[in-house]
Amino acid sequence: MRPTLRGPDGAIEAPWILAGHPLEPDASFRHKVLPSIAVCWGALAIEKPVRKAFMTSIPEFLEMVTSFDGVSEMPVFFIGGLPRSGTTWLQQLIDAHPEVVCLGESQFMSGLSGQLGRVVANHSERRGEDAAVWAPASRGFQRGGVVRLMRVAYVELVRANIGDRDLSRTALIGEKTPENIMHLGRIYALFPKAKFIHVMRDGRDGAISAWSRFRAKLPAEMSWEEYVGWYAKEWVERNRKGLADCNPGASILVQYETLHRDTLAEATRIFEFLGVSSDSEIVAQAVSAASFEALSGGRRQGQVDPKSHYRRGEVEGWRTEFDEAALAAFESVAGDALAEWGYPSGLVSSA
């Protein structure tokens, strides 16, 4: 099973984040004259009883806001890449380090933060409409207030998912969502000092894994070759955007194949980049905790389970699973990028 997250209230599972359900508050709630923070919290689509409890517990809310300085002041990092590129493996490996908390997918940057921003903008716009103001009223949020609100939302999401972790040993907090690679501007706007780990995998292996994982959600008429061509385009565009948008002084590229080939050495490099201990015993324990055998429930690398999030755990599976048509479809789109990023062509030269 893939890692899941609880909602900010600490009790509600969050399929609404992962499934992309609308996060707008209902009409009756949105149009009541409520404090600004309540309108924004309503955007989280929390059930009405929870909203009511929140609204009648302002002292508890203030206590909550002032109690998480230990979390809010910690350095942060984010992981991103293409789906099925090894981001989950890396998240599990880093989270096994005793000085790091690394959350699974929250879709915060790619989903929730944008929804919060739109609700705040809508609220501020309504405060500026004379026709909507029947009595002396407050103004909407200023830009700095929006940023602080989003930081509070992110910190509370972290708090909802750290469980009983001992934060006295925690040096920094991370989060993994593949789509982070497309939202680096938003990440740096909210967390200017954030570090970023860009995970890259041979797109041909990524296409195989993604086809196996997401086939049921694709259009029924889409063929394997069509999907390969689409994935190749996304692979090039998203990786190029991540490489272009990242802060060179606070980001690293981790290639799945290198992590697979020499996990200990690559894990050491990653922990050194994050600024936490790279002691050989700590690294070895983290690598063991995130091994394919541990994550897959005992399967060896190469033993395929198409229903598992950890499907195969090998590199260059495309050499046996790609036919000529699929190979041509991928490399006609991404051939130059494969060469640029150090991946061999599979096409047989006609020369």
Same domain, yes or no: 53 and 182: no
Task: Please report whether residue 282 resides in a domain.
Answer: yes
The alpha carbon dihedral of 259, 331, 307, 17 has a sign of positive
Number of domains in the chain: 2
C-alpha to C-alpha distance for 24 and 324, rounded to whole angstroms: 47
Measured between alpha carbons, how far is 204 from 210 in angstroms, rounded to an integer?
Answer: 10
pTM of the model: 0.74
134 and 15, same structural domain? yes
Write out the residue range of the structural domain in which residue 112 sits. 1-67+107-160
* Residue 347 placed within a domain: no
Q: Is residue 186 part of a domain?
A: yes
d(CA 73, CA 75): 7
Question: Does 44 lie in the same domain as 4?
Answer: yes
| Domain assignment of residue 308, yes or no | yes
Query: Domain check: are 15 and 81 in the same one?
Result: no
Does 150 lie in the same domain as 230? Answer: no
209 and 94 both lie in a single domain: yes
Asked whether residue 18 falls in the same domain as residue 83, the answer is no
The answer to whether residue 351 is domain-embedded is: no
CATH classification of the domain holding 187: 3.40.50.300
Q: Are residues 81 and 54 in the same domain?
A: no
Domain boundary among 136, 160, 184: 160
Q: Are residues 179 and 131 in the same domain?
A: no
Q: How far is CA 141 from the centre of its chain?
A: 27
The pLDDT of residue 120 is 82
346 three-class SS: coil
Domain assignment present for 32: yes
Closest CA to 110 of 17, 37, 216, 240: 17
> What residues have CB less than 8 Å from 124, skipping those under 6 apart?
139, 140, 141
Per-residue pLDDT of the chain (351 residues; tens, 9 = 90+): 444 444 444 433 322 222 333 333 333 333 332 333 343 434 444 444 444 444 445 555 555 554 455 677 789 999 999 988 999 999 999 999 999 999 999 999 998 888 888 888 887 777 666 545 566 667 777 777 788 888 888 988 888 888 777 778 888 999 999 999 999 999 999 999 999 999 999 999 999 988 888 888 889 899 999 999 999 999 999 999 999 999 999 999 999 999 999 999 999 999 999 999 999 999 999 999 988 676 665 556 655 555 555 555 577 788 888 999 999 999 999 999 999 999 999 875 533
What local confidence, expressed as pLDDT, does residue 20 receive? 33
Question: Which secondary structure element, helix H or strand E, spans residue 323, and what is its range?
Answer: none
Whether residue 349 is contained in a domain is answered as: no
What is the residue type of 3?
P
What does the block give as tokens for 19?
């499934």
Question: In 127-160, which positions are buried (b, 16+ CB within 10 angstroms) versus exposed (e)?
Answer: eeeeeeeeeeeeebbeeeebeebbebbbbbbbbb
Same domain, 129 and 237: no
Same domain, 150 and 248: no
Q: Is residue 348 part of a domain?
A: no
Q: What is the pLDDT of residue 47?
A: 42
Given this model, what pLDDT does residue 24 score? 36
Interatomic CA distance for residues 150 and 196, integer angstroms = 19
- Which pLDDT score, from 0 to 100, does residue 253 have? 98
Let me know whether 4 and 143 are in one domain.
yes
**CA angle 249–190–86, rounded 5-degree value:** 60
Query: Residue 175's beta-bridge partner residues?
Result: 78, 103
Q: Residue 1: what pLDDT?
A: 43
pLDDT at position 45 is: 42
